Amino acid sequence: MAVGGSLHDVHQAFGWVVVLSNAVAGAWALGAHRWERLRTPLLWWYTGAAQLTVFVEVIIGVILVNTEDIEAPQFHMLYGFSGIVAVAIIYSYRHQLAQYLYLLYGLGGLFVMGLAIRAMFIGGAR
């Protein structure tokens, strides 16, 4: 049970990594929409890393559910998998909304952050 307990702790703690990294990425991209000096290649590297945290968090959750005798709340899983879908949708619209790219990634990052918060608190994660 110690392994499951620590994996659960990792899942909970990494949820904050998802929230904070996507908040920073979203705010940075929104700032870059307004101020050209914030439009650096590092923004895209950081945004990609922040969005990858969603996938890592969901994988940790799936491993946790499959290795422990627990049943995750349905809304918690819904918000987690919705985060993956949101990242995919944001990525898929990058060419169609090229003139609004910074807005897309800014608002998208904040949306993903919101999904993570909902998964943590409203979704019933314990």
Q: How far apart are CA 67 and CA 110, in angstroms?
A: 31
**pTM of the full structure:** 0.90
The string of DSSP letters for 63-107 reads HHHHHSS----HHHHHHHHHHHHHHHHHHHTTTTTGGGHHHHHHH
Q: What are the residues whose beta carbons fall under 8 Å from the beta carbon of 123, sequence distance 6 or more?
A: 73, 75, 76, 77, 78, 79, 80
Q: If you average pLDDT over residues 12-27, what whole number do you get?
A: 97
Q: How far apart are CA 45 and CA 115, in angstroms?
A: 21
Q: How far apart are CA 16 and CA 120, in angstroms?
A: 9
Q: How far apart are CA 13 and CA 10, in angstroms?
A: 5
Domain borders along the chain are: 2-121
Q: What is the pLDDT of residue 122?
A: 80
72-122 tens-digit pLDDT? 889 999 999 999 999 999 999 999 999 999 999 999 999 999 999 999 998
